[in-house]
Amino acid sequence: MTNGWIDIKNTDVMLIMGGNPAENHPCGFKWPIEAKRNRNAKMIVVDPRFTRTAATADLFCQIRAGADIAFLGGLIHYAIENNRIAKEYVANFTNAAFLVHDDFKLPEEDGVFSGFHADTQTYDKASWNYQGSGGPAAGLPENVTADEKLENPRSVFQLLKKHYSRYTPEVVEKITGIPKEQFLQAADMFTSIRKDGDTSKVGTVIYAVGWTQHTFGTQIIRTAAMLQLLLGNVGRAGGGVNALRGHSNIQGATDIAGIFDNLPGYLKVPTPADTDFKAWMTRITPTSAKPHEWESFNYWSNTPKFAVSLLKSMYGDAAKRENDWAFHYLPKVDRNYSWAYLFDGMYRGNVKGLLAFGMNAVAIGPDSQKNIDALKKADFLVVCEIYPDETSEFWKSPTVKPEELKDIKTEVYRLPGAGFAEKDGTFVNSARWLQWKWIAVPPPGSARLDQDILAQIFLKVRELYQKEGGKFPDPVVNLTWNYTTPKNPSLSEVAKELNGKAIADVEDKATNTTIKAGQQLPGFAFLRDDGSTSSGNWLWCGSWTEAGALMQRRDPADPSGLGIHPNWGWSWPMNRRVLYNRASCDVSGKPWDGSRKQVWWNEAQKRWVGNDVPDFKPDSAPKDHMGPFIMNPEGVGRLFVPLAGMADGPFPEHYEPIESPVTNLLHPKQANNPVVKKFSTASDKYGTKEQGFNVICTTYRLTEHYHYWTKNNPVNVQLVPEPFVEIPAELAGEMGIKGGDRVKVSSARAAYVAKAMVTHRIRPMTVNGEKVYQIGIPIHFGFRGIQEDAGRTERMLVNSLSPTVLDPNANTPEFKGFLVKVEKA
Amino acid sequence: MEPTRRKFFQLGAGGVAATVLGFDVRKAYAQAQELKIARTTETRSLCPYCSVACGVIIHTLGDRAKNVTAQVVHVEGDPDHPTNRGTLCPKGSSLYQDILNDRRLLKPQVRRPGSDHWEDISWDQAIDEVARHIKKTRDETFVEKDAQGRTVNRLESIGFIGGCTDTNEFNYLAVKTMRSLGVCYLENQARV
């Protein structure tokens, strides 16, 4: 989230789409309700199903799964056409005024942007750039040519306007299935905050994996971000672009980069072309690109300080200037090692071993059977779990025949880990708050703390390398492990390591402060690229300082009344609760709305001050025209993403899901995202309407269950004891299916059998003149659980239905919107 | 005296008894004062399920006595927490059963190649065998240079996947250890 849960109470209008917080984030959903009750805020819910979130909305639009960009593009078109954009904000705080390269071409005719190579399904992005002068070769120009009147036909604004001029209410209706009148009602309601030039009101966008799990998921979110920039809603209390995130520490896992393409704090991993530390830094450290008379803080220019401090944290004295800060201890990554590729690689016999710590890969999918078949080929699997799960017991899957077992050579170790109440440490919630939790009880039986298990495995591997040698032992042998109890590291010690400390005395001239060697650093402004500081994650620097563990704070006070709660836990970056909050003020530094004052320019103090911590250079006067979006080299928000920023286009365009029952109305010959590649193992099958897969299927979660976990809890199992398939009453009527009948749902990959829940919550839709049905299936069941073990339910996984095909930017699979056929079972 | 949350709860319980039962409830009231949670230790925690991160209080008994293992007797929403203000959803409300659950895994087990069953294994042996697997696979498949002769130091044959409830600190230990082994397939629930 750019903002936070409590901040939603400050909003005037909400667009909740691709998420169902009433059912999936029930206790956070009180804040949208609070906004409705106390501010008379309006709520628009757009979803394939009439959810409990929709039940509280002022307006509900049922959308065809996967048509989100068409809807949001239509909103952009409407806002521009009806003069409901924040002009001062757009001209000054976004790249609307920047002129774009003459060779850049919109996808209006053939569905592809300039530079597309059909043979490789990739783009040459040279034309996706600004006009201007200077800057590195093939990079952004240092001085960008701009037209602040936004009239030049090559300006981002005019190109954007032209691009979305095709997304008329009529086209929106044909693609999304939302009647034109209803769409116009939604468009009017959401953009009403900018009616008649009003800049005081604010709107928020709230979404979840209903957006991310598409082959154009990142672009859906970008469309929303662009809409919010055009309306001037980013940076403001009650505004922003707010990812609900699904799990307790998904945000933290993203920040710390438990993912292949990042290192902690969103540092991009080195590639083989980065032959030394300097080459790596040159590639990933941006130089500012802005109109000459503007300023850009370009905070990523500090990248070398973050990277050296990380390497010092990891390798201590073994990381020194002479060995390039141990740069070659890090693996160099130049291809896709993301989730689906991991199982693809294992299926192909290249990945021999897997360690899964609290991650039920078989149930999570996509294409569960492919993951099972992949695991059959592994040499070893290590699972740390608290319950028996489908991954550790993949070899007991109902799809594995008993006679097959002798040929499954995988050695599986199942190690009992600790539950949440047995561990301390921090989670990061979707509001970017780091919060500490304390240990209540020890793990049961001979179960152990997860860090104990991982540490013991690592220390044993290290011991083997020390005794026997082996391939490149240096990083294994030299990794810092200075914990008081090495075999069971204290998470407090790790948390302090993550914050970072001074290795030598560090002086900060700006604040006239010296941090003594050995002391915890007060914040990332103190990080250095000369080896005098260490920090495991620069973004969390400031969370555990000499003042103590700030993420353990429990002061519920909220002096401003804006839901900032500055002394509850700690929020990255530097306890700022709303990102980009400088944009909550106009160009002169005065809040757009005096009743929701977050930060402002204090002329007497020559500083930005306020109720929140300014997310900005604190002494940059408004007259200097520094952009509020300090993490972009432009300093401004990107309506147009230049160069390598996106895999599939500088502006989002509507493409159909890989499996779709309809053609792409905008460009029938380019139905899907042009850069999306299908997988090619024998397991990877994709269905079409012509093959009989004529119903759109989406998966979802229930309030009463949590993923594949609570099927082990008696209360939750009592609440919802078995799986079901939610089927529109009209479809059920056509097929003679009654509620409670068993139905078989098949995709090109597998079949799933469960009881039918006949519903009016999903209506048949008319998409471009054709009748389209959608069904929904909750994900929560499998082949191990209270009911499954007792033989009271089918032993099946919903994700055996879902396809392996990915969003090209985030590598997230397309779980939302694939094709199935429905039959009576 | 400022009524505390717990006092309020106790008075509430007594009050209900008085109105419903219609007889002298003084003894019942005295009994209510001895509610189990009156003697518990309260531990502040966070719900491990969704990303709202509701504050929860875990009540345990017996943890202040020598040689006694703490026993969880109750889990409830933390009323001081600014986000959830004491509320919990149907999942959070059943956390007690997540902590005390007879389906919990209690001992290390191994499924040998070709086998149709789990076998018990000691922790030491399990750790030894896993470490041996990792070293063997790493030594056999480690890629120091790519086809163009550039240093890559990659281990492409072992993956690590982390879950949604792993703490930041655990995740950092995973990053440290796995990246140092050269692991490229380092992934997390955050992706899917």
pLDDT tens-digit map of A376-385: 999 999 999 9
Is A470–B138 a contact, with Cβ atoms under 8 angstroms apart? yes
CATH class of B39-101: alpha beta
Last residue of a domain, one of A246, A276, A292: A246
CA nearest to A259 within chain B:
B187
pLDDT band at B63 (very low <50, low <70, confident <90, very high): low
Last residue of a domain, one of A246, A266, A289: A246
Partners of A554 on chain B (C-beta within 8 Å) are 44, 80
pLDDT tens-digit map of A8-18: 999 999 999 99
Task: Count CB neighbours of A618 within 10 A.
Answer: 13
CA atoms of B179 and B166, how far apart (whole Å): 17
Partners of B85 on chain A (C-beta within 8 Å) are 30
A495 part of contact set with chain B, CB < 8 Å: yes
Q: Residue A162 belongs to a domain with what CATH number?
A: 3.40.228.10
CA nearest to A388 within chain B:
B105
Is A420–B48 a contact, with Cβ atoms under 8 angstroms apart? yes
pLDDT exceeds cutoff 70 at A550: yes
Which of B48, B108, B161 is the closest to A356 by Cβ?
Answer: B161
Partners of B72 on chain A (C-beta within 8 Å) are 421, 440-441
Please state the rounded mean pLDDT for residues A433-448. 97
Cα–Cα separations (whole angstroms), residue A1 to A214, A235, A341, A434, A628: 20, 11, 28, 13, 17
pLDDT band at B39 (very low <50, low <70, confident <90, very high): confident
Is A246–B104 a contact, with Cβ atoms under 8 angstroms apart? no
Cβ–Cβ < 8 Å for A202, A233: yes
pLDDT tens-digit map of A552-575: 999 999 999 999 999 999 999 999
In a domain, residue A807? The reply is yes
Last residue of a domain, one of A201, A217, A246: A246
CA nearest to B160 within chain A:
A355
Partners of A360 on chain B (C-beta within 8 Å) are 163
Is B165–A358 a contact, with Cβ atoms under 8 angstroms apart? yes
In a domain, residue A142? The reply is no
Q: Residue A714 belongs to a domain with what CATH number?
A: 2.40.40.20
pLDDT exceeds cutoff 70 at B24: no
pLDDT tens-digit map of A197-254: 999 999 999 999 999 999 999 999 999 999 999 999 999 999 999 999 989 999 999 9
Distance of residue B134 Cα from the nearest chain A Cα, in angstroms = 7
pLDDT of residue A195: 97
Q: How far is CA B86 from the centre of its chain?
A: 19
CA nearest to A483 within chain B:
B173
Distance of residue B110 Cα from the nearest chain A Cα, in angstroms = 5
ipTM strictly over 0.90? yes
A vs B, Cβ pairs < 8 A, gives 476
pLDDT exceeds cutoff 50 at A53: yes
In a domain, residue A719? The reply is yes
CA atoms of A272 and B150, how far apart (whole Å): 6
In a domain, residue A468? The reply is no
pLDDT of residue B35: 77
Distance of residue B19 Cα from the nearest chain A Cα, in angstroms = 31
Is B148–A440 a contact, with Cβ atoms under 8 angstroms apart? no
A211 part of contact set with chain B, CB < 8 Å: no
Is B162–A475 a contact, with Cβ atoms under 8 angstroms apart? no
pLDDT exceeds cutoff 70 at B25: no
Q: Which residues contact A575 (CB under 8 A, 6 or more apart)?
A: A542, A550, A566, A613
Partners of A476 on chain B (C-beta within 8 Å) are 180-181
pLDDT exceeds cutoff 90 at B26: no
pLDDT of residue B29: 58
pLDDT exceeds cutoff 80 at A36: yes
pLDDT of residue A336: 97
Partners of B80 on chain A (C-beta within 8 Å) are 554, 556
Strands A262-263 and A267-268: antiparallel
Residues found in chain B:
192
Judge if the upstream peptide bond of residue A141 is cis by omega within 30 degrees of 0: no
Q: Which residues contact A295 (CB under 8 A, 6 or more apart)?
A: A620, A624, A625, A626, A627, A635
Mutate to test the interface with A, among B118, B132, B165 (most CBs of A within 10 A): B165
Please state the rounded mean pLDDT for residues B63-70. 73
In a domain, residue A519? The reply is no
Is A425–B170 a contact, with Cβ atoms under 8 angstroms apart? yes
Distance of residue B170 Cα from the nearest chain A Cα, in angstroms = 6
Q: Rounded to a whole number, what is the distance in angstroms from the first to the last CA of chain B? A: 52
Partners of A450 on chain B (C-beta within 8 Å) are 166, 170
In a domain, residue A687? The reply is no
CA atoms of A811 and A808, how far apart (whole Å): 5
CA nearest to A809 within chain B:
B191
Percent of chain A whose pLDDT exceeds 90: 99
pLDDT of residue A258: 85
Residue ranges making up the domain that contains A29: 6-98+153-246
pLDDT of residue B30: 57
Mutate to test the interface with B, among A20, A27, A496 (most CBs of B within 10 A): A27
Is A353–B48 a contact, with Cβ atoms under 8 angstroms apart? no
pLDDT band at B33 (very low <50, low <70, confident <90, very high): low
Please state the rounded mean pLDDT for residues A591-608. 98
Distance of residue B27 Cα from the nearest chain A Cα, in angstroms = 33
Closest CA to A266 of A608, A670, A538: A538
CA nearest to B86 within chain A:
A27
pLDDT of residue A511: 84
Partners of A565 on chain B (C-beta within 8 Å) are 82
Cβ–Cβ < 8 Å for A634, A75: no
Distance of residue B24 Cα from the nearest chain A Cα, in angstroms = 36
pLDDT tens-digit map of A709-752: 999 999 999 999 999 999 999 999 999 999 999 999 999 999 99
In a domain, residue A404? The reply is no
Is B172–A448 a contact, with Cβ atoms under 8 angstroms apart? no
A266 CB-contact burial (10 Å; exposed 0-12 / middle 13-18 / buried 19+): middle
pLDDT band at B10 (very low <50, low <70, confident <90, very high): very low
- B/e letters for A654-687, b = 16+ CB within 10 Å, e = fewer, are bbbbbbbbbebbbbeebbbbbbbeebeeebbbbb
CA atoms of A386 and A357, how far apart (whole Å): 10
Q: Which residues contact A743 (CB under 8 A, 6 or more apart)?
A: A725, A727, A737, A753, A754, A755, A756, A822, A823, A824, A825
Please state the rounded mean pLDDT for residues A653-660. 98
In a domain, residue A436? The reply is no
DSSP code of residue A501: E
Which of A272, A355, A461 is the closest to B160 by Cβ?
Answer: A355
Partners of A387 on chain B (C-beta within 8 Å) are 101, 103-105
A328 part of contact set with chain B, CB < 8 Å: yes
Q: Rounded to a whole number, what is the distance in angstroms from the first to the last CA of chain A? A: 43
Is B71–A441 a contact, with Cβ atoms under 8 angstroms apart? yes
A437 part of contact set with chain B, CB < 8 Å: yes
Cβ–Cβ < 8 Å for B87, B77: yes
Cβ–Cβ < 8 Å for A51, A62: no
CA atoms of A794 and A781, how far apart (whole Å): 9
Which of B97, B109, B161 is the closest to A713 by Cβ?
Answer: B97
Distance of residue A707 Cα from the nearest chain B Cα, in angstroms = 9
Cβ–Cβ < 8 Å for A508, A522: no
Is B189–A558 a contact, with Cβ atoms under 8 angstroms apart? no
pLDDT tens-digit map of A101-135: 999 999 998 999 999 999 999 999 999 999 999 99
A407 part of contact set with chain B, CB < 8 Å: yes
DSSP code of residue A552: G
pLDDT of residue A164: 98
pLDDT of residue B17: 41
pLDDT band at B15 (very low <50, low <70, confident <90, very high): very low
CA atoms of A90 and B92, how far apart (whole Å): 42
CA nearest to A715 within chain B:
B94
Would you kindly state where each structural domain of chain B is located, as residue ranges? 1-34, 39-101, 124-191
Is B43–A439 a contact, with Cβ atoms under 8 angstroms apart? yes
Is B157–A361 a contact, with Cβ atoms under 8 angstroms apart? no
Which of A427, A470, A786 is the closest to B53 by Cβ?
Answer: A427
Cβ–Cβ < 8 Å for A707, A715: no
Phi-psi region of B27 (alpha: psi -120 to 50; beta: other; left: phi over 0): alpha
User: How many structural domains are present in chain A?
Assistant: 2
Mutate to test the interface with B, among A9, A29, A53, A249 (most CBs of B within 10 A): A249
Is A258–B174 a contact, with Cβ atoms under 8 angstroms apart? yes
Q: What is the pTM of this model?
A: 0.95
Q: Which two tokens stand for residue A370?
A: 């492919």
pLDDT band at B18 (very low <50, low <70, confident <90, very high): very low
The average confidence (pLDDT) of chain A is 97
A253 part of contact set with chain B, CB < 8 Å: yes
Is A414–B110 a contact, with Cβ atoms under 8 angstroms apart? yes
Is B135–A25 a contact, with Cβ atoms under 8 angstroms apart? no
Which of A246, A272, A446 is the closest to B123 by Cβ?
Answer: A446
pLDDT band at B12 (very low <50, low <70, confident <90, very high): very low
Strands A816-824 and A241-243: unpaired
pLDDT exceeds cutoff 90 at A76: yes
